[in-house]
Amino acid sequence: MRGADAFGVTWYRFRCTWRERWPGYLALVLLLGLLGGLAMGSVAAARRTQAAFPAYLASTNPSDLTVLTGLYGVAGSKGYDPAVIAKIAALPGVRHVSSYAGLNVAILEPGQNQQANAGSQGLSGSIDGEYFSTDRLTIVQGRMPSPGSLNEAVIDAQGTPPQVQVGTVAPLGFFTNAQVSSPGFGSKPAKPYLAMNMTIVGKAVYSSEETQDESDVQRDGGALFTPALTRLLERCCANFTQTAVQLDRGTSVAAAEASIQRLLPPGFPIEFYVTAQTEAKAQRAIEPTSIALAVFGGIAAVAALLIVGQVIGRQLRLGGGDLGTLRALGAGPAVTTGDGLPGVLGAIAAGALLACAVAVGLSPLAPLGSIRAVYPYHGAAFDWTVLGAGFALFTCLLAATAAVIAYRRAPHRVIDRGVSLRATGSAVVRAAWGAGLPASAAEGIRLALDPRAERGRVPVRSAILGTVLATVVLLATVTFGASLSTLVSHPALYGWNWTYALSSGEITIHNAALVLDHDPEVAGWANGWFGTAQVDGVTVPVLGTNTNARVEPPVLSGHGLQGLGQVVLGANTLAQLHKRVGDVVTVDDGAPHPFQLRVVGTATLPSYGVSGTLHTEMGTGAVLPYQDIPGAAGNEPDTVLVTLRPGANLAAQQRVLQRIVPANVGGVVLPVQRPAEIVDYRSMGTAPVILAGALVLGALSSLLLTLLSSVRRRRRDLALLKTLGFTRRQLSATVAWQSTAAIAVGAIVGVPLGIALGRALWDLFAAQISVVPQPTVPALTVVLIVAGALVTANLVALLPGWVAGRTPAAALLRAELPVTGPRTVRSSRPRPGRTRR
Pairing of strands 668-670, 622-625: unpaired
Q: What is the pLDDT of residue 231?
A: 92
Q: What is the pLDDT of residue 701?
A: 62
Q: What is the pLDDT of residue 418?
A: 46
Q: What is the pLDDT of residue 700?
A: 61
Torsion sign (Cα): 230, 232, 238, 240: positive
> What is the C-alpha to C-alpha distance for residues 527 and 541, in angstroms, rounded to an integer?
17
Three-state DSSP class for residue 286 = helix
- Measured CA angle at 526 (ends 523, 531), to 5 deg: 150
Residues of the chain with pLDDT under 50: 1, 114-121, 414-425, 454-459, 819-837
CA 351 remoteness from chain centre: 29
Among candidate residues 208, 232, 255, 273, the one with its CA nearest the CA of residue 101: 232
What does R_g of the chain's alpha carbons equal in angstroms?
A: 37
Among candidate residues 509, 741, 526, 521, the one with its CA nearest the CA of residue 634: 509
> What is the C-alpha to C-alpha distance for residues 190 and 329, in angstroms, rounded to an integer?
109
Q: Are 608 and 656 in contact (CB under 8 A)?
A: no
Q: What is the pLDDT of residue 834?
A: 46
User: Residue 116 to residues 104, 172, 175, 283, 429: CA-CA distances in angstroms?
Assistant: 10, 12, 11, 39, 83
The answer for residues whose C-beta is within 8 angstroms of residue 664's C-beta and 6 or more apart is none
Identity of residue 414: V
Peptide bond just before 367 cis, omega within 30 deg: yes
> What is the C-alpha to C-alpha distance for residues 10 and 445, in angstroms, rounded to an integer?
39
Strand ranges (DSSP E) for 618-741? 622-625, 639-644, 668-670
Q: What is the pLDDT of residue 734?
A: 77
Check: pTM over 0.75? Answer yes or no. no
Q: What is the pLDDT of residue 836?
A: 42
Q: Which residues of 695-732 are buried (b: 16+ CB within 10 A; e: fewer)?
A: bbebbbbbbbbbbbbbbeebbebbbbbbeeebeeebbb
The answer for residues whose C-beta is within 8 angstroms of residue 828's C-beta and 6 or more apart is none
For helices 275-317 and 728-769, the axis angle rounded to 10 degrees is 160
Among candidate residues 542, 570, 566, the one with its CA nearest the CA of residue 556: 570
Among candidate residues 399, 206, 413, the one with its CA nearest the CA of residue 309: 399
